């Protein structure tokens, strides 16, 4: 793509520039270079997309499910064909390493694959003779035009948590990608177009808050899927509910890893360091806090210090990069400020990632791995989502204390335990108040055929993204009770 190119929206099967002068720069977080400019589309643009979606819906819902998934098979083949180019685009605009980009794209493709099972997944159920000569059926029907609003940190995967299920079940879908990483979505939509998908079935409208508000407020958008920070998730959920529409809104996180004395310390520190510093800590499933129990504290602290100082930090396009930059200069400043505040509230800085730069990339948004010890359990750092490569250590005396600390968090996206004790593992998975649980795992990301199950302030809604939940979210049930009188029904 050419420098400073203006990105178009995709509406009704056409690539068209938004009727606005309001554009923002999309920058490469490693170099600071401007890649493209993206429009902040006004409400009129959203309305156009909704109208096109409504028109397409009347035909699309009548296309047999077995034919609808034909487009997804073609889409999958194209994603595989352009895999490296898309992964490169993710790294260029999002900053993560090329390995991480490949990983997230693979996870996205798996959702396309699962949605190809829609002919089975969206089946209803029925009973004959619920009364004499009367049968009852439950079927699933699509909702109409639905929309998804996605964050910057997984530009390849997160749109695919929603899009394949929405269209396979017969809906028409509008994507509003993050304005920080819009080029990856450009790839996804272009490949759907090349797959022959009829106009209006998938559309893309770029923008920010006003575009989101227009989607929520539009009476013909029937459902909203959202992933992003908790404050915006809560807002989108409340405003959607006020419009009487269904919403699934995934928010932020503060994920703790409990480390017991009987854990394999080498494996544990390798896994936790990958979770904490991978994607520069910008995963909603990043471990950002360790709660060590008893004697686990000393060896774990030592191993994590080693992992933090030896991590190779540079432009994610280098095959040997183990960590890229954070997304924006503002993000870097916020993370550095939070490290300073954590120090002021009593934490000890063991490894300080502030004020460092990757060689040859002086204009990038660099924060190197940071490790803080003796983090006050009730303080700011223990409770705030930093969303950067900042890891805090807390030591407690018992597993119960550690679980209580996890459960005192307002977030509930993920909690992890490292141990060799089955009894401890069972107690933990039974009692921990988080929707995704890792046992000897640091990024417990559910596969595409399981729901992405955040709890508490990490999720607002009932049905989560992916798998069966996705199918239920994008369909409404209809129950038919029918009688066809015949000689038998007249006999009794």
> Which residues of this chain interact with ligand NAD, rule CB under 6 A?
149-154, 176, 178-179, 208-209, 212, 227-229, 232, 235, 250-253, 284, 385, 387, 413, 452, 454, 458
Instruction: Return the number of the residue (350 or 434) whose C-beta is nearest ligand NAD.
Output: 434
Residue 56: CB minimum distance to ligand NAD, A: 23
Location of structure tokens 């095959």:
319
Is residue 300 within 8 A of residue 292, CB to CB? The reply is yes
Retrieve residue 240's tokens.
């959607």
Nearer to ligand NAD by Cβ, of 107 and 311: the residue is 107
Which residue's CB is nearer to ligand NAD, number 31 or number 240? Answer: 240
- The least CB distance from residue 413 to ligand NAD, in Å, is 5
Residue in the structure block whose two tokens are 């602290």? 301
Query: Known catalytic residues?
Result: 284
Location of structure tokens 């900053």: 95
CB-nearer residue toward ligand NAD: 265 or 463: 463
Cβ proximity to ligand NAD: between 158 and 394 the closer is: 158
Burial of 432 (0-12, 13-18, 19+ CB in 10 A): buried
Nearest approach in angstroms of CB 414 to ligand NAD is 9
Angstrom distances, CA of residue 429 to CA of 156, 258, 434, 441, 458: 30, 12, 9, 13, 18
> In sequence order, which residues have a C-beta less than 8 Å from that of residue 112 and are 6 or more positions away?
72, 75, 76, 79, 160, 164
Minimum CB distance to ligand NAD, residue 288 (Å) = 10
**Residues whose CB falls within 8 Å of the CB of residue 111, separated by 6 or more in sequence, listed in order:** 157, 160, 161, 164, 165, 448, 466
CB of 415 to ligand NAD, least distance (A): 14
Closest approach of Cβ 390 to ligand NAD, in Å?
14
Shortest distance, position 281 Cβ to ligand NAD, whole Å: 10
Residue 342: partners with Cβ closer than 8 Å, 6 or more residues away: 349, 372, 375, 379, 380, 381, 390, 392
Q: Report which residue's Cβ sits closest to ligand NAD.
A: 228
Give just the sign of the alpha carbon dihedral 447, 450, 454, 459: positive
Q: What is the enclosing helix (H) or strand (E) of 482?
A: strand 475-483
Closer CB to ligand NAD, residue 68 or residue 176?
176
| 315: Cβ contacts below 8 Å, ≥ 6 apart | 30, 31, 321, 324, 358, 360, 361, 364
First and final C-alpha spacing in the chain = 75
| Interior angle at CA 69, CA 67 and CA 73, nearest 5 | 120
- CA distances in angstroms from 339 to 278, 286, 348, listed in the order given: 18, 17, 10
Q: Which is nearer to ligand NAD, 152 or 165 (CB)?
A: 152
């Amino acid at each position: 793509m050419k420098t400073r190119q203006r990105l178009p929206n995709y509406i009704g099967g056409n690539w068209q520039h938004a009727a606005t002068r309001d554009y923002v720069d999309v920058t490469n977080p490693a170099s600071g270079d401007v890649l493209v400019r993206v429009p902040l589309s006004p409400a009129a643009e959203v309305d156009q997309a909704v109208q096109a979606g409504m028109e397409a819906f009347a035909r699309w819902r009548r296309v047999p499910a077995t034919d609808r998934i034909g487009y997804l098979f073609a889409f999958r083949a194209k994603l595989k064909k352009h895999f490296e180019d898309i992964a490169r685009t993710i790294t260029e605009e999002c900053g993560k390493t090329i390995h991480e980009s490949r990983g997230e794209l693979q996870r996205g493709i798996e959702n396309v694959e699962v949605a190809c099972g829609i002919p089975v997944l969206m089946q209803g159920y029925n009973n004959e003779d619920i009364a004499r000569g009367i049968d009852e059926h439950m079927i699933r029907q699509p909702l109409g035009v639905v929309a998804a609003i996605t964050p910057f940190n997984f530009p390849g995967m997160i749109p695919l948590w929603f899009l394949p299920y929405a269209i396979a079940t017969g809906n028409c879908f509008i994507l509003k990608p993050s304005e920080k990483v819009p080029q990856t979505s450009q790839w996804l939509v272009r490949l759907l177009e090349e797959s022959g998908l009829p106009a209006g079935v998938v559309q893309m409208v770029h923008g920010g808050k006003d575009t989101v508000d227009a989607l929520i407020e539009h009476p013909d958008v029937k459902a909203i899927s959202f992933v992003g920070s908790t404050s915006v998730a809560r807002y989108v959920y409340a405003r959607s509910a006020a419009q009487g529409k269904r919403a699934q809104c995934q928010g932020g996180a503060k994920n703790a890893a409990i480390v017991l004395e009987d854990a394999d310390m080498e494996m544990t520190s390798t896994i936790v360091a990958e979770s904490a510093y991978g994607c520069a800590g910008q995963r909603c499933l990043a471990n950002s806090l360790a709660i060590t129990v008893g004697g686990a504290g000393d060896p774990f602290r030592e191993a994590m210090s080693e992992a933090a100082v030896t991590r190779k930090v540079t432009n994610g396009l280098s095959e040997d990069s183990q960590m890229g930059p954070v997304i924006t200069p503002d993000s870097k400043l916020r993370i550095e400020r939070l490290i300073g505040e954590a120090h002021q509230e009593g934490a000890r800085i063991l490894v300080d990632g502030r004020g460092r730069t990757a060689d040859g990339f002086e204009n990038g948004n660099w924060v190197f791995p940071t490790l803080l010890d003796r983090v006050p359990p009730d303080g700011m750092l223990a409770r705030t989502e930093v969303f950067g490569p900042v890891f805090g250590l807390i030591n407690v005396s018992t597993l119960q204390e550690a679980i209580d600390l996890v459960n005192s968090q307002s977030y509930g996206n993920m909690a992890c335990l490292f141990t060799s004790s089955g009894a401890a593992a069972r107690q933990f998975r039974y009692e921990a108040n988080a929707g995704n649980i890792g046992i000897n795992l640091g990024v417990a990301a559910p596969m595409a055929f399981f729901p992405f199950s955040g709890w508490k302030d990490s999720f607002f809604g009932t049905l989560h993204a992916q798998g069966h939940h996705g199918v239920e979210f994008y369909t409404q049930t209809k129950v038919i009770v029918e009688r066809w009188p015949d000689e038998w029904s007249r006999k009794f």
